[in-house]
Structure 1
């Protein structure tokens, strides 16, 4: 019989609508100002930590809406932002550097919805507020480091082979010029080095010199590595801040976009993300006397660095180990109650340190603190010029063979030790980065965007309803119910998907899909009217109307879906948000327009003698 659905189709439709409604509901409850407490690397919050948090807040007379321990993290909710800020300051003093205490906005979803994993949609920076950074990687410094490594490696190889040179100097395009006493020695060096350095183009220069420059492939690989590694390190640092749903992605050849939705402590975010501190471990050259060091008269393989007190220390240029190999670092106090940083290395770093210290027991080794800071000057393009600042923070004799774990002392205060350990734990940047653009979006502006977006959706929905009811009467009301169901399903699916984030363009995508859904209902209704004019019976007109419009609806929606997929594949940030909501909206609009309205029409008219349709 025409226009009859089996029972299972009605049940399926009801279940889908109820599930969509349940998962859309959390978006009505808003968010609470909260403080999130997570353990630093290797530390998890426990019941003891929970009691400590509760006692601290009670002592400071700070009332919390709730304090809960879940999955090794503590979340304390408050009534206002002022209370939230007071709580954070108090907790940071008590908990110290073993925990990351971050400001947050926590969903106020009721527990009965949380038990079925129903959470609100994740909101982007433009809706939730937060901070946006555009960072640029300093490629000059990155390639300069690589040039220094090449110089050190070439010197070492020539020394091992017993080939004497007279001078080594840097040249343009990150190259190295080496001079020898005569042409035959130079030829021996070229022949030996060419086989050991495949990524360098080594050639004779003049009568007794050679030039080594990095190949184009090596330069391209170094630039790519600098950006990708900095992205990984920035992600680690964002995790230290405890930010939910951050965005860290590449933009162009040497820039990185970092967006931190919901973050309120922007100064802290900028301090952690932009910091470029790292450590270098070098051997001290004890053959140079103090007066020569003070005047800068040192051998070519050494250089003078200063301590905090202004005392010169002569260090070999060769770097034993850098912060790249550090996997963990914590701050504590030594046996004399002085601050210290405990370092753990990866396997490669542990082997390097072990082999070096084994052969150099009794010799002094220095820890050099390296940081790049804004010099206050601008280059021709108006960008800040970074100045390299170096300071010897520790010199100690190698007492025994060191392994994967050791400690450094000589740090002036506990706060400095805590900050250094956090930066080293998150990772040392391969190359300095500078913030070339910073935008802060307040929660108020985000709420305004949400309000305007909701108004746009509402007026779009109202306009569609008025149009459908005016032109198609009862069938217009049926189409209206499908539109509302479509909106509920879009919100429900967006809340369910873990990778979906709603942005302003995403709201535009929702409005667009509502229009697409209207278009599908217009096609169906016009086709039914056409069949009635051709003399078909009511039941046949309904059947042929849906059947005839089906192919047109599929074609129109599939082309839109393909466009959304392409936008998602090649787009970034908010463009992806638009693509996701459009794709979801296309799928739900096809379901509600074809299956949903057909189910209602079949329920009202199927198997009945109808002489006239209200269409």
Structure 2
């Protein structure tokens, strides 16, 4: 029989539409402004007494919190507005100190039963809702100092290979390096060697108290290149870390000479994002100092997981985390967390060369963190805050070398599976070429202004209303059915975007408007074809069947070509352009479903199986 769907097909359509309504529903629940609190390390847990102290301090400062929650070792404090959130951040940071990460966030209010089904709201971009904004500063001075550390090791190795005896290779207070020799001939030979192999060095001679020195400075161009490389490498690393976090449509870009802006729209865990983005998770691999060794510079460091226990290790660095090509968290045979390391070719060669002569000696893995503390002082009667950077190095592993190590080995002795996962993530994303510090953190509002956004949403509503009215006036009953399908199309579009955890931006709204127009266009083609068939004297049921079947090819061609254009935009574009492409692509698929399948089902339910003497079209 013409224009009748079987029962199973109607039930399948109803099921898809019900799922669409279910997964679009979380968007009816707006997020709360919140402060998220988590420990900088696994040992620092958020507990009820700490949250009680925070609540008491907020009340004392006259800040009203909607709710204070404890969630799996982290805390969440909800507020009614952004102003309270901003004031509360400073208060909470003062209460908890440096052992905890305090980050601004947006907390979902989706009911538990919806979240249990995997339903969540669609994220809104910075231009609609705002998000977390970080301004980071790259410590380019430390980048130069780190490069000098590498030069120290290289110079020692080269002088030993050339059998040139030296007494010392060390830093000077002015940032230069000095190499000390016992006689002038040895110094002159070493200077010639270094000048040939290191054109980036400015070399000069000094003689002090019978000792002969080669003083090494970097050229101005070399210093600028190191600083520029540090910022560019940090940009790449931060982008990799943000990608690992799964943040949709982030912004990571350079600002000025040594600053980087990171904007995270729709981020779910701002505290974790801040902890991972801001951590300079570099490693240093060094040999433990041998009691029999003489003339070797040593340093003593504490174990990260065992306060009070320390070990003395050599100052020379075998390799750093920058030589790590891949890192994966795993567990050893005893169920303890570890990180499996894969080095690049140069790092593997260096590791093999050193460990070949160090069998049965112990190698230390140092975890290097560049931190800063804020010092408040009065300058000319004005209270000012000054950031004081400092370096914290602690041993995370000290294991005996059983055989020559190559490009693959394991790091053990980690506190927890969380620590091993984070360490692997940071190393996999790439080591930062220089320390970074948080200069500014804020929750930013709509970049186009609340008024402009309200006007934009209003224009969408007016345009949609005009389309609905036109369809009813021009196509009557068929127009009403098309409007129902169009409304369901918007529901499905929102549901799919929510399931994809996509971020909706203002260009994304433009994609939705375009989708609405294309969905109506498909219905217009179908209804015009039915009207044409009726004018040619074709019976009603046959006209309906012909309209849907014969217009299908045209609709398919138009939508496929638009989909190809959207895919090209997604592949070639960035940021908002990708947001527009994603919305448009999803909208094309949902609009074809509703315009062809759902509208056909509604028409079948209305007219199918009936004798039509007259068709209202």
**Equivalent residue for 2:263?**
259
**Equivalent residue for 1:122?**
123
Q: 1:495 aligns with which of 469, 490, 498?
A: 498
Judged with a 3 Å threshold, the aligned counterparts in structure 2 of structure 1 residues 90 and 250 are, in CA distance, closer, same or farther, namely closer
**Equivalent residue for 1:96?**
97
* Alignment pair present for 1:229 and 2:237: yes
Judged with a 3 Å threshold, the aligned counterparts in structure 2 of structure 1 residues 134 and 544 are, in CA distance, closer, same or farther, namely farther
CA-atom RMSD, angstroms? 6.2
Q: 1:52 aligns with which of 45, 50, 53?
A: 50
Whole-Å separation in 2 of the counterparts to 1:539 and 1:45: 70
* Alignment pair present for 1:457 and 2:460: yes
Is this contact kept in 2: 1:474–1:614, CA < 8 A? yes
Give deviations 1:295-326, integer Å, cap 9, x for gaps. xxxxxx9xxxxxxxxxxxxxx99768879799
Is this contact kept in 1: 2:127–2:447, CA < 8 A? no
* Alignment pair present for 1:591 and 2:593: yes
SS in 1 for 2:127: helix
Is this contact kept in 2: 1:30–1:107, CA < 8 A? yes
Is this contact kept in 2: 1:31–1:105, CA < 8 A? yes
**Equivalent residue for 1:149?**
150
Give deviations 1:218-244, integer Å, cap 9, x for gaps. 9999998564335456789xx8xxx97
Alpha-carbon shift at residue 273 of structure 1 (Å):
7.0
* Alignment pair present for 1:564 and 2:562: no
* 1:261-340 equivalent positions in 2, closer than 5 A: 261=265
Is this contact kept in 1: 2:136–2:259, CA < 8 A? yes
* Alignment pair present for 1:31 and 2:31: yes
Q: 1:479 aligns with which of 479, 482, 486?
A: 482
Is this contact kept in 2: 1:531–1:545, CA < 8 A? yes
Whole-Å separation in 1 of the counterparts to 2:156 and 2:126: 51
The farther-off stretch of 119-128 and 57-66 is 57-66
Whole-Å separation in 2 of the counterparts to 1:65 and 1:547: 56
Alpha-carbon shift at residue 119 of structure 1 (Å):
1.9
Judged with a 3 Å threshold, the aligned counterparts in structure 2 of structure 1 residues 556 and 610 are, in CA distance, closer, same or farther, namely same
The farther-off stretch of 34-43 and 588-597 is 34-43
**Equivalent residue for 1:515?**
517
Whole-Å separation in 2 of the counterparts to 1:224 and 1:325: 17
**Equivalent residue for 1:377?**
none
* 1:364-383 equivalent positions in 2, closer than 5 A: none
Is this contact kept in 2: 1:121–1:502, CA < 8 A? yes
Give deviations 1:548-603, integer Å, cap 9, x for gaps. 11111111111111222222222221111111111111111001000011001111
Judged with a 3 Å threshold, the aligned counterparts in structure 2 of structure 1 residues 227 and 454 are, in CA distance, closer, same or farther, namely closer
Alpha-carbon shift at residue 39 of structure 1 (Å):
2.9
**Equivalent residue for 1:40?**
40
Whole-Å separation in 1 of the counterparts to 2:274 and 2:608: 64
**Equivalent residue for 2:613?**
611
Judged with a 3 Å threshold, the aligned counterparts in structure 2 of structure 1 residues 24 and 466 are, in CA distance, closer, same or farther, namely same
Whole-Å separation in 2 of the counterparts to 1:392 and 1:594: 64
Whole-Å separation in 1 of the counterparts to 2:588 and 2:389: 57
Alpha-carbon shift at residue 517 of structure 1 (Å):
0.3
Whole-Å separation in 1 of the counterparts to 2:590 and 2:340: 49
Whole-Å separation in 2 of the counterparts to 1:437 and 1:74: 22
Is this contact kept in 1: 2:276–2:426, CA < 8 A? no
Is this contact kept in 2: 1:538–1:612, CA < 8 A? yes
Is this contact kept in 2: 1:130–1:440, CA < 8 A? yes
Number of corresponding residues: 498
Unaligned runs of 5+ in 2: 170-176, 201-218, 220-224, 288-296, 298-313, 328-337, 373-387, 394-399, 401-410, 415-421
Is this contact kept in 1: 2:138–2:436, CA < 8 A? yes
Judged with a 3 Å threshold, the aligned counterparts in structure 2 of structure 1 residues 480 and 282 are, in CA distance, closer, same or farther, namely closer
Judged with a 3 Å threshold, the aligned counterparts in structure 2 of structure 1 residues 604 and 568 are, in CA distance, closer, same or farther, namely same
The farther-off stretch of 431-440 and 126-135 is 431-440
SS in 1 for 2:4: coil
Q: 2:506 aligns with which of 504, 507, 526?
A: 504
**Equivalent residue for 2:547?**
545
Is this contact kept in 2: 1:43–1:98, CA < 8 A? no
**Equivalent residue for 1:172?**
none
Unaligned runs of 5+ in 1: 169-175, 195-199, 203-212, 284-300, 302-315, 328-343, 361-366, 373-388, 395-400, 407-421
Alpha-carbon shift at residue 125 of structure 1 (Å):
1.0
Alpha-carbon shift at residue 525 of structure 1 (Å):
0.8
Q: TM-score under structure 1 normalisation?
A: 0.62
Give deviations 1:277-305, integer Å, cap 9, x for gaps. 9999999xxxxxxxxxxxxxxxxx9xxxx
Alpha-carbon shift at residue 458 of structure 1 (Å):
1.1
Whole-Å separation in 1 of the counterparts to 2:614 and 2:560: 34
**Equivalent residue for 1:66?**
67
* 1:148-187 equivalent positions in 2, closer than 5 A: 149-150=150-151, 152-163=153-164
Give deviations 1:32-87, integer Å, cap 9, x for gaps. 222222232324746xx135314541575365433333344332223344544454
Judged with a 3 Å threshold, the aligned counterparts in structure 2 of structure 1 residues 321 and 465 are, in CA distance, closer, same or farther, namely same
SS in 2 for 1:68: strand
Whole-Å separation in 2 of the counterparts to 1:270 and 1:123: 20
Whole-Å separation in 2 of the counterparts to 1:156 and 1:562: 57
**Equivalent residue for 1:292?**
none
Is this contact kept in 1: 2:123–2:266, CA < 8 A? no
**Equivalent residue for 2:433?**
430
Alpha-carbon shift at residue 130 of structure 1 (Å):
3.6
Whole-Å separation in 2 of the counterparts to 1:4 and 1:71: 54
Give deviations 1:334-386, integer Å, cap 9, x for gaps. xxxxxxxxxx999899x999x99x999xxxxxx999899xxxxxxxxxxxxxx
